[in-house]
Amino acid sequence: MRLAAGRSRRTTFGSPIRLDHLSAACATGIACSYVGAVPTCVGVGVGTDALTGVPDALTGLADTLLDVGDPDAAADVGPFWDVADSDADSEATSAVQETTTPEDSTPAPDTIDSMDSMDSVDTIAEVAECAGPADCADADPCTLDTCAAGTCNHTPAQAGASCGPAKTCQSSGVCACADAKKTGPTCAACLNPAANGPNCVVQGNCKLASVWPGLVQAVSKLTIAPANVGCDLDGDGKVNNAIGKGLSAFLNSLNNSLANGIVSGNAAWLLHMPGWTMSDDSFALYVMPGKLQGAAGSCNTVASDGGCTYAVDPTAYDVSAMSATCPPLIAYPNAKVKSGPQFHAGSLDQVVPITLNLQGAALSVVLHQATVSAEVKGNGGAVTMAAGLNCGVILKADLEAAVDAVPEGQTSGLGLDKASLKAMVLSMLQADADANGDGTKDAFSFAYQWEAVPAKISGIGVP
């Protein structure tokens, strides 16, 4: 832009251009200018600005730097302006000095302190970055955009601050889904790669399964075994089942809850064996919670015709895994079909999370030294499992901690507070297993009875 002539209010750039201070050093007909930060006498004529005497090349550069359409450019003017606070009553009063031309050799006044002191002055338009917060919007929901003294400020929002539906600002300043298990523009649960796209990442670096090849079965019967049914864990030729013996008074309640979940399909257990073979080779067994698809009663969940379809509960998977696919949390890596045919899996190192529901009080514990066995019936896709046993031990310390973790309200069905429940359970159970091999019996033996029938998996369900 060309320096505009006309009436104007005082500028706020700070120290004025004092061309009159330079005029004494230049001959008549020679205009004074700044080249960079150095005062220079320049002859008026070809290649100079007729009004200021500044060479055209520098005038063009100043026009570019002071273009009011680019507030950021004005901040970079540097050698042309000395930016400082102004004081109307001090010698540093901000103003623009009127310069002379060859046609007008009348000395210019030092400064212009009144808007009415001249009919025409040369001024620089005042440049401000913003007039309000709206001028500072940077489209980043994790910054607080404000305008102060004509300058935009972008302060990082506090971690955890909302930055959209179901989203919060992270400590890194990035707006992301508040629930790390969810993703996508709307933070919908990333449950089905087929529906949400091939790059459907839940958390970490893994993706949930979208297909379940091999053999799939649904548990059609599941009960906590009575005292006389179980596995020989110590090799003495006798059944070990301290839980079945000690909690015999609760077995009906516990088993009714398990049966209702299986028959209704609302609390199903699915067995997936992707490498299933009956040739004595090892393969993996994955145990996953699921739910029946379709209306209740749409299929017979305990029948062997394989007519029921289930959705896997996403909580079955370790979504924090840094692997290509999210692995199931309950996995037996060494399953095998032996002569009989008998199905076997598990070892002394195997651990499996389980839940015991004592009339509303859910005790979440870990089954150590877990093993699985069953009789295999049929072959191909018509395989069923019968007379199954799932054995192991529950550490006394784990059971005590599980009772302590139960919310107070959950023990009301037993008419007991937590302290009384713990005392009752421990008085009913007698440790019969040495879990760590130190010679002290510190765990309770346990056994499930189960059967399974062919089933299908349609996908991942909603938690």
What is the domain partition of the chain in residue ranges?
1-127, 133-196, 215-460
Question: Rounded CA gap, 126 and 12, in Å?
Answer: 7
Widest CA span of the chain, in angstroms?
Answer: 123
Count H helices and E strands in the chain, helices first. 8, 20
Residues 6+ apart with CB under 8 A from 419: none
pLDDT at 224: 95
Q: Strand 30-35 to strand 151-156: parallel, antiparallel, or no bridges (unpaired)?
A: unpaired
Contact 53, 99 (CB under 8 A): yes
Residue identified by tokens 């079909």 is: 337
Three-state SS string over 2-29 comes to CCEEECCCCCCCECCECHHHHHCCCCCC
Which amino acid is located at 118 in the chain? M
Q: If we measure between CA atoms, which residue out of 449, 451, 450, 448 comes closest to residue 304?
A: 451
Mind giving me the DSSP string for 120-148? -EEE-----S-SSGGGG--S-TTEEEEEE
Question: Rounded CA gap, 382 and 4, in Å?
Answer: 92
Question: Rounded CA gap, 55 and 65, in Å?
Answer: 16
pLDDT at 277: 93
pLDDT at 355: 87
Q: Which residue blocks in 11-129 are alpha helix, DSSP H?
A: 19-23, 56-65, 71-74
DSSP run (H or E) holding 396: helix 396-405
- Averaged over successive runs of 10 residues, the pLDDT of the chain (463 residues) comes to 36 38 46 49 46 40 36 36 37 39 45 42 59 87 89 88 82 74 58 46 65 94 96 93 93 89 92 93 96 82 84 87 84 93 94 85 91 91 91 95 85 82 92 92 96 93 72
Residues 6+ apart with CB under 8 A from 69: none
Question: Rounded CA gap, 403 and 399, in Å?
Answer: 6
Reduce the DSSP state of residue 365 to 3 states and report it: strand
341 cis-preceded (ω within 30 degrees of 0): yes
Q: What is the DSSP letter of 398?
A: H
Q: Which two tokens stand for residue 178?
A: 């508040």
Reduce the DSSP state of residue 258 to 3 states and report it: helix
194 torsion bin: left (phi>0), alpha (psi -120 to 50), beta (else): alpha
**Number of residues assigned to the chain:** 463
